[in-house]
Amino acid sequence: MDRSESFPMFVYGTLMLGERNHAEVLRKNLLYYIKAEIQGQLYYYDEEDFPALTVGRKKIKGQLFYFDSLDDVLQFTHKLEGYIAPDHKDNMYHFEIAQVVTEANEIVQAFVYRINPQLLSSQANKFSVIEEDSWKTFKNR
């Protein structure tokens, strides 16, 4: 088992079940999911109409996905999220390992996409803070 198969993926925006980027590749490889939270801050990226997670203090709600073949999923999600390589200056999102808390209050290590801080600062006028603790609450307000 390689490194990419060893962790679930925490999703908090358009990759979640029922959202517009929850594509067939995610559905066919998804074994199961559970509700979870990550510490952070959500921003709305109006240029692309999606959320961006940063380091922060809020408990952000999302879903923890367990995949049959994460490698197949990553081919899709890395392209969608503009991920090139670890710490690459042109990444839209960085792909990182973070601590997530499940609805059963278990602490789990999971992959997560966080917005590249350089993008956030260079295009600050295109991002706004999401006060809500979830993308679904924000978009349904």
The pLDDT tens digits for 70-111 are 888 999 999 999 999 999 999 999 999 999 999 999 999 999
**CA–CA separation, 85 and 25 (whole Å):** 21
Backbone angles phi, psi at 112, to 5 degrees: -155, 150
pLDDT at 119: 94
Contact of 127 with 45, CB cutoff 8 Å: yes
User: Residue 102 domain-assigned?
Assistant: yes
Residue 92: give the domain boundaries. Answer: 3-129
Q: Would you say residue 40 has pLDDT above 80?
A: yes
**CA–CA separation, 57 and 138 (whole Å):** 18
- The three-state DSSP-derived secondary structure of 29-59 is HEEEEEEEEEEEEEEEECCCCEEEEEEEEEE
Contact of 15 with 22, CB cutoff 8 Å: yes
What is the number of domains present in the chain?
Answer: 1
Contact of 11 with 47, CB cutoff 8 Å: no
pLDDT at 4: 44
User: Residue 69 domain-assigned?
Assistant: yes
Task: Please report, for residues 99, 119, 129, 131, the alpha-carbon distance to residue 111 in angstroms, rounded to integers and kept in the order given.
Answer: 9, 20, 23, 24
User: Residue 137 domain-assigned?
Assistant: no
| CATH (domain of 100) | 3.10.490.10
User: Residue 31 domain-assigned?
Assistant: yes
